[in-house]
Amino acid sequence: MLAKGISLAVAFFTLNKSVKANAKSIVYEAMDIGMAITKIAKTQKVDKKTKDALLKEVKEFDKAVIKFLDDLVIPD
C-alpha cells in the first residue's frame, strides 16, 4: 500500500513539472491583490480607479489559477 502511494506521488510530480512555474504565477498574482488591498486600506478611500485596479489584479489571478488547473495532470 505504501509503495503504491509513493509510486503515485512520483508519477504525479513527474507529470507536473511545468506546474511549478504556474504555481509561482499564482503566488505573484495573489501578492499583487494583497498589495492592492493594502493600498486601499491605507488610503481608506475607494474610487473608480482603485476599484478598476483591484478588479484587474483579480482577473489576472483568475487566469493564473485556471492555467494552473488546466495544466495539472492527475495520474490514473
Mean pLDDT of successive 10-residue stretches along the chain, which has 76 residues: 63 64 82 89 90 93 87 71
Does 58 map to a domain? yes
Domain containing 11 equals 2-71
Using only the alpha carbons of the chain, give its radius of gyration. 18
Predicted confidence at residue 28, as pLDDT, reads 87
Does 19 map to a domain? yes
> How many domains is the chain partitioned into structurally?
1
Does 62 map to a domain? yes
CA 46 to CA 51: how far, in whole Å? 6
Does 76 map to a domain? no
Does 23 map to a domain? yes
